[in-house]
């Protein structure tokens, strides 16, 4: 989330461009889900710029934003980390993947059965869905996303996990104050880190 439609559009375009660079220099197919994550984050920001310009409310853009933010990301991140991880780290990564599945299923059900509404609150956008057991869902969401990065077995991805955890805490605090949303800045930094991660990945060796 950014603090205006223009900020969301500019940030989303830049983040998506980083995603294109990540995918363009991909060396191993199994790294594709993580390398493509900035493309998803960039699209997310661009969709939110549409919500800003429409004044919030319900509609296809609001639903698309919620689908990416809620059920998709807690599946995408641990799945991408698991695909890219070395074989010795994959067993422990099944835990955040299971948490992602357990979190995504009720979130997807809520989106399918309840309307989601976007509300402009100062310099932030708030999304109202009315989730039951939201504390457990937040815990599962963080375990799936942050936890998978911290357990990845790759130093750069572990640092990315720390950054995401700190960024989530800072952005949540600022969002509650309705002063300004800064997640787009953290998403941009995360995308640059993923670009560096993609560049340093070894090439895939053909089977002998």
Q: What confidence tens digit (pLDDT) does each residue in 143-198 have?
A: 999 999 999 989 999 999 998 888 777 766 655 554 455 677 788 889 999 999 99
3-state SS class at 129: coil
Q: What are phi and psi of 181, to 5 degrees?
A: -100, 130
What is the C-alpha separation between 165 and 4, in angstroms, rounded? 24
The predicted pLDDT at position 208 comes to 44
Mean pLDDT of the chain: 88
Q: 156 and 196 in contact (C-beta within 8 Å)?
A: yes
C-alpha separations of 78 from 6, 65, 183 in Å: 31, 20, 20
């Amino acid at each position: 989330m950014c603090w205006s439609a223009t900020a969301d559009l500019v940030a989303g375009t830049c983040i998506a461009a980083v995603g294109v660079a990540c995918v363009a220099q991909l060396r191993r197919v199994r790294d594709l889900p993580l390398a493509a994550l900035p493309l998803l984050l960039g699209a997310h920001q661009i969709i939110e710029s549409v919500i800003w310009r429409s004044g919030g409310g319900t509609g296809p853009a609001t639903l698309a934003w919620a689908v990416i933010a809620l059920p998709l990301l807690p599946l995408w991140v641990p799945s991408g980390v698991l695909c890219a991880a070395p074989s010795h780290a994959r067993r422990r990564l099944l835990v955040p993947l299971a948490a992602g599945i357990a979190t995504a299923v009720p979130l997807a059900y809520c989106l399918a059965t309840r309307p989601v509404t976007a509300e402009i609150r100062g310099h932030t956008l708030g999304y109202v869905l009315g989730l039951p057991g939201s504390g457990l869902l937040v815990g599962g969401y963080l375990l799936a996303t942050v936890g998978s990065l911290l357990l990845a077995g790759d130093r750069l991805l572990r640092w990315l996990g720390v950054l995401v955890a700190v960024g989530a805490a800072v952005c949540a605090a600022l969002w509650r104050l309705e002063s300004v949303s800064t997640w787009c800045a953290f998403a941009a930094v995360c995308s640059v880190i993923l670009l560096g991660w993609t560049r340093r990945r070894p090439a895939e060796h053909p089977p002998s």
